[in-house]
Amino acid sequence: DGDVYKYYADGEWKKSSSGKTVAIINPTTRKTQYKVQACTQEEVNKVMELAKTAQKSWAKTPLWKRAELLHKAAAILKEHKAPIAECLVKEIAKPAKDAITEVVRSGDLISYTAEEGVRILGEGKFLVSDSFPGNQRTKYCLTSKIPLGVILAIPPFNYPVNLAVSKIAPALIAGNSLVLKPPTQGAVSALHMVHCFHLAGFPKGLISCVTGKGSEIGDFLTMHPGVNCISFTGGDTGIAISKKAGMIPLQMELGGKDACIVLEDADLDLVAANIIKGGFSYSGQRCTAVKVVLVMESVADVLVEKVKAKVAKLTVGAPEDDCDITPVVSESSANFIEGLVKDAKEKGATFCQEYKRDGNLIWPLLLDNVRPDMRIAWEEPFGPVLPVIRINSIEEGIHHCNASNFGLQGCVFTKDVNKAILISDAMETGTVQINSAPARGPDHFPFQGLKDSGIGSQGVTNSINMMTKIKSTVINLP
């Protein structure tokens, strides 16, 4: 019937007074795997109060000590990679090896953030007044970076550990406290990760993790007057949150429809390998997955054949067996993907493989000759289905890319570096990769989306800066 997990507040594991739990369905078995507490609004209020108090003394804790605790948490997290990865396999059907990688990458991210934090936050600025017209050298301005207060972190199901620590570590090194609301699928992995911070010995109340139904505590958390900053990764909900949130800094990473533009001179083996990696890893459930291929007509037949041959080699099945393609996160997600496939079928797309589904498991599917009137040309399936649109000019490719509401990443394949740079400049996306599939990492690189893909920029350095503000002290000389 599923193990029941407690939520984390005031340095302790607690049962909710609601007496209710939320079930986490294993995407593979479609049975309840775990249960987490359905926290109440009163419990959220309590957590916010504790976070506010704990932050005051944490901000006064020396920076090197804050860094030391983060390094400790990183080491503990890495030591516990096996049980955490097991949860990722059961909760979100992440292939076993990728689950381990997620945890290790998260440990590295925490350590890197601690190191980057002591450098960034260890430096301030000193300005003198006489550089501005009309001023004498009578004012000295000292600036430093101070924490914002309480950070609310809301990561998505696809990286419940990594995209949680990418918010937690910068928040903590900068002297903030942290309230985590994990995704339901992925909540138990997140609770295990929080336990590693607990074992590292962070002060009580500084970190909390509340679980529960979005309908009960979602808006209550994001609109809570005690929250001083929201860092969110996920889908459309982010747009709703940004409309309702108060006058606080927001860091949002939402969806994407990352295009892969393939020119005639591209190394087609390299392209095919990157389309497979970019389009089908974790069954396409990544914001940065390749979500549309825009290939020049003259090389399209050859490329499609190469990709087809590689699709045929993808293993399909259980995450425990480390298959390439595993069940998508939920039945509703599988139904949504199926809707896009049916629409493409009705409108005449070429199916390179037969469409096949068993429960939440959808076999990898490449759709050729997709046209702009098909939903799959614009919407993100978040599943192992990839459309190919044949183009007759570079302009046509750029036009399709820029007509999207999204603007996360994109990629271009060509041997002509000049063309690649011109295309990169023309693509309205936060990042363009030349000759490789889109990806967020390495995790210290800036990561940002334009348009509906987000607000602000992430990556270790940007996140630390974003979770602070500048404080000045001006010394006025006689």
Q: CA-based angle 195:199:201, to the nearest 5?
A: 120
- Identify which range of 170-178, 267-275, 280-288, 356-364 contacts ligand G3P by CB under 6 A: 280-288
Residue (121 or 151) nearer to ligand G3P, CB:
151
Pairing of strands 406-407, 350-351: unpaired
Task: Return the sign of the alpha-carbon dihedral for residues 142, 147, 148, 153.
Answer: positive
Residue (152 or 163) nearer to ligand G3P, CB:
163
- Identify which range of 156-164, 306-314, 334-342, 386-394 contacts ligand G3P by CB under 6 A: 156-164
Q: Does 231 bind ligand G3P (CB under 6 A)?
A: no
- Identify which range of 294-302, 307-315, 340-348, 434-442 contacts ligand G3P by CB under 6 A: 434-442
Out of 46, 195, 286, 310, name the contact with ligand G3P by CB under 6 A: 286
Please state, as a whole number, how many other Cβ atoms lie within 10 Å of the Cβ of residue 316: 17
Which residues, numbered 353-382, are part of the site for ligand G3P (CB under 6 A)?
none
In the shown chain, the binding pattern of residues 160 to 179 toward ligand G3P, with x for contact by CB under 6 A and - for none, equals: ---x----------------
Residue 251 C-beta: closest distance to ligand G3P, Å: 12
Residue 186 C-beta: closest distance to ligand G3P, Å: 13
CA dist 385 and 325 (Å) reads: 11
Residue 281 C-beta: closest distance to ligand G3P, Å: 8
Residue (263 or 325) nearer to ligand G3P, CB:
325
Out of 233, 326, 431, 433, name the contact with ligand G3P by CB under 6 A: 233
CB distance 37 to 15 below 8 Å: yes
Residue (288 or 468) nearer to ligand G3P, CB:
288
Residue 232 C-beta: closest distance to ligand G3P, Å: 11
Residue 455 C-beta: closest distance to ligand G3P, Å: 14
- Identify which range of 91-99, 158-166, 351-359, 415-423 contacts ligand G3P by CB under 6 A: 158-166
Query: Tokens 């889908």 identify what position?
Result: 235
Q: Does 253 bind ligand G3P (CB under 6 A)?
A: yes
Residue among 91, 253, 379, 380 flagged as catalytic: 253
Residue 286 C-beta: closest distance to ligand G3P, Å: 4
Which residues, numbered 438-457, are part of the site for ligand G3P (CB under 6 A)?
439-441
Residue (287 or 455) nearer to ligand G3P, CB:
287
Residue 16 C-beta: closest distance to ligand G3P, Å: 29
216 as an active site residue: the answer is no
Residue (268 or 439) nearer to ligand G3P, CB:
439
Residue (160 or 205) nearer to ligand G3P, CB:
160
Q: Does 288 bind ligand G3P (CB under 6 A)?
A: yes
Q: CA-based angle 295:298:301, to the nearest 5?
A: 75
Residue 160 C-beta: closest distance to ligand G3P, Å: 11
Residue 167 C-beta: closest distance to ligand G3P, Å: 12
Neighbour order of strands in the sheet with 365-368: 350-351, 365-368, 385-391, 290-296, 258-262, 409-413, 431-434
Out of 158, 166, 208, 326, name the contact with ligand G3P by CB under 6 A: 158
Q: Does 113 bind ligand G3P (CB under 6 A)?
A: no
Residue (117 or 454) nearer to ligand G3P, CB:
454
Out of 173, 252, 262, 287, name the contact with ligand G3P by CB under 6 A: 287
Residue (151 or 287) nearer to ligand G3P, CB:
287
Q: How many residues bind ligand G3P (CB under 6 A)?
A: 11
Binding footprint of ligand G3P on the chain (CB under 6 A): 158-159, 163, 233, 253, 286-288, 439-441
Return the active site residues. 253
